[in-house]
Amino acid sequence: MIPILDRPLVQFGLATAAVLILPLVMRSGTLASEILIFGLAVAACNLLLGYTGLLSFGQGIFFGIGSYVAGLGLVRAGLPAPVMLAVSLGVGALVAAVVGWVSIRRQGVYFVMLTLAFSQMFYFLAYTFSGITGGDNGFLDIPRPTLVGTRLTDPWTYYAYVAVLFLVLFAALQRVALSTFGRTLLAIRDNEARAGAIGYPVRAFKVAAFAISGAVTAFAGALHAMLIGVAPLSNIDYHTSETLLIMTIIGGSANLFASLLGAGAYLLAADALSAIWPRWLLALGLLLIVITLFLQRGLWGLIERAIALVTRAPPPDDPARPVGTNPPVAHAPEVAR
């Protein structure tokens, strides 16, 4: 039986509630839009990490490419925003399929290193070909989309635009996760060798998961470029990949709403902390260590525990659902004690 909070309708309801509540409780429409945009990218990251068991340090590639593609189309070619969102979706899928196809040639840790190296490669591509990307300055003057003739320059109207697209893509990701395809991804995550032995083309499934994840991430990157009016070099940086992963794990990779939770918690904390302490990343580093030691299911795990406490149901086993690339290694250093 699926726990109540993991049911698809409940999940979608939670996401809708979050979208509706943000404008009521937040002063900055820009920050609220950012939460949804990163929430989308993090959910896409989670499709790889939580559902397929692939820990990719390459998500920043797709986010950055989405930003650049949207910028190029909107500024150089003057194409309308919906067209460029669709194009970035397509380009993201394509690039992610290629990166995924090469990266999955190695497994486990090697795979992680490869995605990280790819992320560096695309960063230096963007850096080297500054004629196209603007190099250090980023790609400038990206306009907001228009709707019935008016440009969405007001932060909250753009938020509404983002919110609708967010809910559509969130639902789409849910469909993917619930489909036979998504179930097969779970099987691959839990036991790749067995999934292969049954006859599933494991590699093709992984590449497809990569493509879907990359497409949604690039879409989020495009929305982000329109939000801040720039496609900055930092969007394609290793740090973006790292941040997306950190957000995913802070939220917990149990379900897609947990990803929105992770993005929201990270961005709100960053916003509050960076104002009072420029070196707040030190606190983030410590938080990651604490999460590893005590909170392996992330913030979502905390909520599950709280609910279990209230309903007096047994709490879910801590790292029960694996969130990692690999099962724990058979290692018993304690034997020596």
**Of 63 and 111, CB closest to another protein:** 111
**Of 82 and 285, CB closest to another protein:** 285
Smallest gap from Cβ 244 to another protein, in A, equals: 12
**Of 279 and 312, CB closest to another protein:** 279
Smallest gap from Cβ 157 to another protein, in A, equals: 36
**Of 148 and 329, CB closest to another protein:** 329
Residue with tokens 């599950």: 304
Report whether 26 contacts 32 (CB < 8 A): yes
Smallest gap from Cβ 162 to another protein, in A, equals: 29
- Number of residues that make up the chain: 337
**Of 114 and 176, CB closest to another protein:** 114
Smallest gap from Cβ 35 to another protein, in A, equals: 22
**Of 20 and 121, CB closest to another protein:** 121
Residue type at position 27: R
DSSP secondary structure string, 33-81? Answer: HHHHHHHHHHHHHHHHHHHH----S-HHHHHHHHHHHHHIIIIIS---H
What does the binding site for another protein look like in residue numbers (CB under 8 A)? 49, 55, 102, 105-106, 108-110, 112-114, 116-118, 120-121, 124-125, 127-128, 238-239, 242, 246, 249, 279, 281-282, 284-289, 291-293, 296, 319, 322-329, 331-333, 335-337
- CA 200 to CA 155: how far, in whole Å? 46
Other CB atoms closer than 10 Å to residue 228's CB: what's the count? 16
Smallest gap from Cβ 327 to another protein, in A, equals: 7
Other CB atoms closer than 10 Å to residue 77's CB: what's the count? 10
Nearest to 254 by CA among 296, 286, 297: 297
Smallest gap from Cβ 139 to another protein, in A, equals: 18
Strands annotated E in the chain: 146-147, 150-151
Whole-Å CA distances, 26 to 109, 153, 155, 250, 278: 40, 18, 12, 21, 22
